[in-house]
Amino acid sequence: MNRLSGFTLVEMLMSMAVVAILLVIGIPSFRFVTNSNRIAAEINGLLGDMQYARSEAIKEGQPITVCVSTNGTSCANGNNNWQNGWIVLNAATNVVLRVQTAFSSSDTFVATNTISAVTFNREGYANGIPNGTLIALHDSTNTSNWTRCLSINLTGMMRSQTYDGVACN
């Protein structure tokens, strides 16, 4: 007896149905994970550069500025669109210490109170910003689940916050 091995049409259709169900469940979760990771990386990039600037200001005893920059060499005054990129600049010597290029995604990273620069003095305090300054990061769909905020106060303390649909907390 020659017996042919293989799948029947019913077995193949059932396998395809199971795969389709798993994809329908898994694809939205994967999108959330990728968006969440991208947003976290972007906010942590600015937070890390702010912390670096604060520590350099204390270490060097000179003012260090983090500002929006579209060209990577100088501050773009009056531009509070942080998604265009930023630089860490020694304000006393005009030496650029770090450069962050513009985001490749269409996320928006805009500061409240039109803050385009934060300068840390030699004690680590943030000069020239209103207390409670927020820089809010929104994904391209402006979904509140993915919105993150970077909070900076006058003492130079910074923290990343989540958005609850009304405000960052």
Show me where the domains of the chain are located. 9-162
Q: Among the CATH numbers 3.40.50.2000, 3.55.40.10, 3.90.950.10, 3.90.650.10, which is that of 9-162?
A: 3.55.40.10
On the CB side of 65, CA atoms within 13 Å amount to 22
Contact call for residues 99 and 62 (beta carbons, < 8 A): no
Q: Which residues pair with 109 in a beta bridge?
A: 137
* Backbone torsions φ then ψ of 12, nearest 5 degrees: -65, -40
pLDDT at 1: 63
* DSSP-assigned letters across all residues of 50-86: HHHHHHHHHHHTS-EEEEE-SSSSS--TT--BGGG-E
Contact call for residues 34 and 40 (beta carbons, < 8 A): no
pLDDT at 103: 85
pLDDT at 167: 67
pLDDT at 57: 95
pLDDT at 32: 77
Low-confidence ranges of the chain (pLDDT < 70): 1, 165-167, 169
User: What is the rounded distance in angstroms from the CA atom of residue 105 to the CA atom of residue 39?
Assistant: 10
- Which pTM was predicted? 0.79
Q: 126-127 and 133-138 as β-strands: parallel, antiparallel, unpaired?
A: unpaired
Sign for the CA dihedral angle at 56, 58, 61, 67 comes to positive
pLDDT at 64: 96
pLDDT at 165: 66
